Amino acid sequence: MKAKFSGHDTFPLRYGWLYKAVNHMNSGYFLKTSKSKDVEKAVIELGVGKNMVNAIRYWSDCTGVIYDKVNKAPVVTDLGNYIFGDFGVHQGKDPYLERKGSIWLIHFLLNFDDEYLTSYRYFFNFSHVQSFEKEKYLFDFVEDAQRICQNDGITDKSLKKDLDCFLHTYCRKRKANSSKTIKIDEDHFSSPLAELSLINDNGNGFYTSTLREQQDLPIEIFIYAVARFMSLNFDLNDINIETEELTIGFDSLLSNPFSPGRIFRLSEHGLGQQLDDAQLTTNGGLTWVDSRGLRQISCPINLIKNPIQILNKYYGVE
């Protein structure tokens, strides 16, 4: 993986930013800040400073709602238009992220990327800790990041800033030596991802992130993640045209990097419950067996190739 520990200018993701990015680009403008004309237009239209334009561009690209790579014209992705809308073409399913499932979906999209390593992708895909002290965690993070990215110009300073931004994105701010949550002001405007309570700030640099059942994770978002994960593990171009389903092991779905179990911080029991519910939701299309030590999940090939169909079910699209 390539290192990507900068670009957000230390600004955590904020409500409204992804919608603003999609709306801005669908209006025919760009978020790139290398041209003064683009910068001026973005600052005026988005109502933020230049550094925040950089941050909006960063988070929009990392969540996959826009595609913005070097030497390629940036575009809004199909998923970006699906969630946030494309003017007269179609209405966004949840442009203001009012549904909890949309936030879970953004969380999954942000961490389901095996090309670029960030502090949050490291935590949700490679780290095994359920509680940690930030300074000790940073030390281990630096070592692992250098190994995963083969150094790639990684510095302790850049990783520390990225780690701080990641924690501000996922945690509600707390006072030192206090169990009370700080009243959120403009400088610590709540990130939608903090609503998931995946990481808790216990004060004094200590954090917890336990594996749970995640009962507020909508089953359709979970099934979508399963389908995307299986597409990552199989070359669909090599699959026999007569193949109706693909099978993967329970442990892979639970603990492999980029798996639903990893990204959603599911316990073993929690994953089993989600799979039970998935069988009911898909009318037996997605199935799993847990018998005599054999635990396998089978998913229809048409769902793997077209996972948007399960999102349509969540958003009530006929």
Q: What is the pLDDT of residues 88-135, one digit of tens each?
A: 778 899 999 999 999 999 999 999 999 999 999 999 999 999 999 999
Q: What single string gives the DSSP state of each residue in 75-96?
A: EE-HHHHHHH--TTS---S-TT
Label residue 122 exposed, middle or buried (CB < 10 Å: 0-12, 13-18, 19+). Answer: buried
Q: Do 46 and 75 lie in a common domain?
A: yes
Q: pLDDT, tens digit, for every residue of 203-215?
A: 999 999 999 999 9
| pLDDT at residue 190, as a whole number | 81
Q: Which domain holds residue 264?
A: 219-314
Confidence band of 184 (pLDDT split at 50, 70, 90)? very low
| pLDDT at residue 179, as a whole number | 52
Element (H, E) at 23: helix 17-26
Alpha-helical runs (H) found in 27-67: 36-46, 50-62
C-alpha to C-alpha distance for 101 and 34, rounded to whole angstroms: 35
Q: Are 34 and 85 in contact (CB under 8 A)?
A: no
Q: Do 63 and 135 lie in a common domain?
A: no
35 located within any domain: yes
CA nearest to 10, candidates 209, 199, 188, 202? 188
144 located within any domain: yes
Question: Which residues contact residue 301 at a Cβ distance below 8 angstroms, ignoring those fewer than 6 apart?
Answer: 236, 239, 243, 244, 245, 246
Confidence band of 278 (pLDDT split at 50, 70, 90)? very high
Residue appearing with tokens 């009318």: 283
236 located within any domain: yes
Question: CB atoms < 10 A from the CB of 92, how many?
Answer: 19
Q: What is the CATH number of the domain that holds 307?
A: 1.10.10.10
Secondary structure of residue 101 in the 3-state scheme: helix
Secondary structure of residue 191 in the 3-state scheme: coil
Q: Do 235 and 181 lie in a common domain?
A: no
Q: How many domains does the chain have?
A: 3
277 located within any domain: yes
The mean predicted confidence, pLDDT, of the chain is: 90
182 located within any domain: yes
CA nearest to 126, candidates 187, 137, 134? 137
Q: Do 86 and 142 lie in a common domain?
A: no
pTM: 0.92
